[in-house]
Chain A
Amino acid sequence: AQKVTQAQTEISVVEKEDVTLDCVYETRDTTYYLFWYKQPPSGELVFLIRRNSFDEQNEISGRYSWNFQKSTSSFNFTITASQVVDSAVYFCALSERDDKIIFGKGTRLHILP
């Protein structure tokens, strides 16, 4: 069965520090997708990235970077030089070929000024 684990329930860092959010997943499929979503205090879900299981290249988008390692079933998310606007709940998610997307329980990130 598919499963996503975000072991960090809550993280607080001071502005400008780097922070990494961990995500570990379980799946029996060889074809799957991994996602990160951001949920700011306003409540909407903001899509950040999607990765398919055949693409292990790390990705960088501005201050955001993602490290996908199939060997450890991890898809970690790093924010470099964090800002107060990064404060939010971040969800890691997984979908398999049956097309249902399942979520981890989320990590609440506090960026302190």
Chain B
Amino acid sequence: DAGITQSPRHKVTETGTPVTLRCHQTENHRYMYWYRQDPGHGLRLIHYSYGVKDTDKGEVSDGYSVSRSKTEDFLLTLESATSSQTSVYFCAISGSPGSYTFGSGTRLTVV
């Protein structure tokens, strides 16, 4: 969607390797979120951020870390990827209560 970009769009990686997904926004929104989508589970919140260097854990944060050193970028890192982290990852931004914009998603396969 306009104003939010996820990269890469697709990635295949090997078990045990580190992986970083990037979410970039041009809206100067304060809030940013990372979700993963798996069949039968819907979208589940991994981590979120309320501002630069202000992050917190979501429902399924184990195995993931995040960083937000700039307003526009929210990075999701898998320190040592596992097959259970094969998923589609969505980033979202919010500038006001009840208003969200989602990225196009990153399809990650861990082999």
A residues bordering B, Cβ < 8 Å? Answer: 6, 9, 33, 35, 43-45, 47, 50, 52, 91, 95, 97, 99-106
A-B contact pairs, 17 of them (CB 8 A): A9-B40, A43-B104, A43-B105, A43-B107, A44-B1, A44-B102, A45-B102, A47-B100, A50-B98, A91-B42, A95-B97, A97-B97, A100-B45, A100-B48, A101-B100, A103-B44, A105-B41
Task: Give the size range of B's interface with the partner.
Answer: 20 to 34
Q: Which residues of B contact A35 (CB under 8 A)?
A: 100
- Interface of chain B, helix or strand or loop or mixed? strand
B92 within 8 Å of A (CB atoms): yes
Residues on A with C-beta less than 8 A from B94 are 99, 101
Residues of A within 8 A of B98 (CB): 33, 50, 52, 95
Closest to B107 in A: A43
